[in-house]
């Protein structure tokens, strides 16, 4: 089957000027090259993909919709969140306070602490990286504990050491 019989190179180039994004641009460039005599096999090699993918890209353009729409993927919404909007807002208010406010003996929120809190409070399980993302979405930033000078008061050194052993990572408001 010959692709793009009804579409001129000029139309493809005009569409190229009107699209945003890597994939739509790549698809239009492949179509322009194909119209200029490059084989699907060569295009597959150039774009580091399979011939079947090139076939699909070219086949997408055989449609009644505009070329810009044909090369653009439909919006993907992603996975549904485990926490409802109300639960998310409540969680964000909670992590803006010290963990002691909800009865947890810790100096600061950590991804591991958030993981445990979310499971205990809402009955949902999040991975460690997702807990970091949730803390970031809540407006907190990652802070590493700073070492105190060796000349510091012994009580301050002991307090720092105790705090460090409780939590090596901190998420705080910027």
Mean pLDDT of 46-70: 90
Instruction: Identify whether 3 is part of a domain.
Output: no
Q: Which of 2, 54, 86 is nearest to 94 (CA)?
A: 86
Examine the fold and report which residue of 45, 71, 97 is the final residue of a domain before the chain moves on. 71
- Dist. CA 74–CA 69, nearest whole Å: 9
92 in the same domain as 168: yes
66 in the same domain as 18: yes
* CA angle centred on 161, ends 156 and 165, rounded to 5°: 150
| 3-state SS assignment for residue 72 | coil
Q: Report if pTM > 0.85.
A: no
- Which pLDDT band, with edges at 50, 70 and 90, does 167 fall under? low
| 3-state SS assignment for residue 42 | helix
- Dist. CA 97–CA 141, nearest whole Å: 14
155 in the same domain as 91: yes
101 in the same domain as 149: yes
How high is the pLDDT of residue 65? 87
How high is the pLDDT of residue 87? 95
- Which pLDDT band, with edges at 50, 70 and 90, does 1 fall under? very low
Q: Which of 67, 93, 52 is nearest to 10 (CA)?
A: 67
Contacts (Cβ under 8 Å, ≥6 apart) of 140: 95, 96, 109, 171, 172, 173, 174
Give CA 54 to chain center in angstroms.
27
Instruction: Identify whether 79 is part of a domain.
Output: no
Q: For residue 118, how many C-alpha atoms fall within 13 Å in the half-sphere facing its CB?
A: 26
114 in the same domain as 55: no
136 in the same domain as 63: no
Give CA 72 to chain center in angstroms.
19
Q: Which of 111, 159, 112 is nearest to 137 (CA)?
A: 111
67 in the same domain as 119: no
106 in the same domain as 158: yes
Instruction: Identify whether 111 is part of a domain.
Output: yes
102-152 confidence digits (pLDDT tens): 999 888 899 999 999 999 999 999 999 999 999 999 998 877 666 655 566
Q: How many domains does the chain have?
A: 2
Q: Which is more confident, 168 or 15?
A: 15
The domain of 48 spans 9-71
Mean pLDDT of 8-22: 91
24-55 confidence digits (pLDDT tens): 999 999 999 999 999 999 999 999 999 999 99
């Amino acid at each position: 089957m010959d692709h793009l019989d009804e579409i001129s190179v000029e139309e493809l180039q005009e569409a190229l000027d009107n699209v945003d994004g890597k994939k739509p641009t790549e698809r239009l460039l492949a179509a322009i090259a194909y119209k200029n005599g490059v084989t699907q096999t060569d295009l597959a090699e150039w774009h580091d993909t399979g011939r079947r993918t090139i076939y699909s890209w070219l086949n997408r353009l055989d449609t009644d919709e505009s070329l810009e729409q044909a090369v653009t993927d439909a919006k993907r919404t992603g996975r549904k969140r485990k926490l409802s909007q109300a639960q998310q807002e409540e969680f964000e208010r909670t992590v803006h306070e010290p963990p002691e406010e909800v009865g947890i003996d810790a100096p600061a929120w950590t991804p591991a602490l958030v993981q445990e809190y979310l499971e205990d409070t809402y009955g949902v399980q999040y991975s460690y990286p997702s807990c970091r993302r949730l803390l970031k979405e809540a407006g907190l930033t990652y802070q590493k504990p700073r070492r105190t000078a060796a000349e510091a008061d012994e009580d301050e050194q002991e307090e720092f050491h105790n705090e460090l052993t409780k939590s090596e990572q901190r998420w705080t408001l910027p």
